Amino acid sequence: MNGNFEIRTLHSSNEMKLVQKLEEEVWNISAIPIHQTVTAAKNGGIMLGAFDQEELVGFSYGFAGFDQKQSYLCSHMLGIHPEYQEKGIGAQLKWEQKRVAAEKGYELIIWTFDPLESRNAYLNMNKLRGICCTYIENCYGEMEDGLNSGLPSDRFQIDWWINSEHVADNQSLNDVQSSEGIHLIEWETTSNGQPKLGDLDQEMMTNLTNIDHPLLVPVPANFQELKKTDHELAIDWRFKTRNVFQQLFESGYAVVSLQKTTNEPVHYYVLTKLRNLSIK
């Protein structure tokens, strides 16, 4: 492991076999068929590989999508070998994906992630400057892998407008994070040290149009640990946050960043009005 990673665009069936092997190592699931990934790569899709010498240690897979008049790249999978995680490879793959997608004529890249997984949120929003204004209930149905089993597979859809001012602005989001944010829902710590979500302030929700400040919604800082400790509490977080995000998105808000904390068992999503963002 030398720390120097080369990102390559993959095309051949032999390269896709390497991706299949890595998929199984990362998620312990059946890999995507090679005939599908090869065909996608030849028809507007993008398969990228991160290599340590000649060993594939990460990949990103996206295929062409279309919705009414908008074409986009659907970034379906990003996987990093367990021994190479936390080294910035995921971000490198996403920035290279952005570059290649722009060359192909894309303006939008979309993907999904679990809104309760705050580590993914920080990469997607704070580093890449994607936004979310779409909540998908039980997106993939029941999933049996270790990360997702036992809960509805709810997902945020990230919209990454790769040619927008919002993405091009390399300034940090501290101007939003340090603002006087409005807390819509409180939380408390349980006897076993895990955060428990309170009830939504419905009165405040009815007056959202009169609020100019950013809105803050808490999520667990370590959802996998919480789920192992108290599965019923994890379910409570799923359904309560589902309710609040659906209402906020319907009211014209978008999630733009994650505010990390150092001494609390929660982080906070920061939301602003979608119409105020320079994304197209």
Q: Tell me whether strands 70-80 and 185-189 are parallel, antiparallel or unpaired.
A: unpaired
Task: Look up residue 207 and give its two tokens.
Answer: 């007056």
pLDDT digits (tens, 9 = 90+) for 231-274: 999 999 999 999 999 999 999 999 999 999 988 999 999 999 99
pLDDT at 144: 59
Q: Tell me whether strands 182-183 and 215-220 are parallel, antiparallel or unpaired.
A: parallel
pLDDT digits (tens, 9 = 90+) for 145-177: 545 556 899 999 999 999 999 998 865 554 555
- Give the span between the Cα atoms of 129 and 161, in whole angstroms: 9
- Does residue 215 contact residue 271 with C-beta atoms inside 8 Å? yes
What lies within 8 Å, CB to CB, of 203 at 6+ separation is none
Annotation: CATH topology of 5-168: Aminopeptidase (3.40.630)
Average pLDDT of the chain is 90
**What percent of the chain is predicted at pLDDT more than 70?**
91
Q: For the chain, give every domain's residue range.
A: 5-168, 174-276
pLDDT digits (tens, 9 = 90+) for 18-52: 999 999 999 888 899 999 999 999 999 999 999 99
pLDDT digits (tens, 9 = 90+) for 77-98: 999 999 999 999 999 999 999 9
Residue 102 has pLDDT above 70, yes or no: yes
For residue 181, count other CB atoms closer than 10 A to its CB.
18
Task: Look up residue 90 and give its two tokens.
Answer: 């995921």
Task: Look up residue 218 and give its two tokens.
Answer: 């808490």
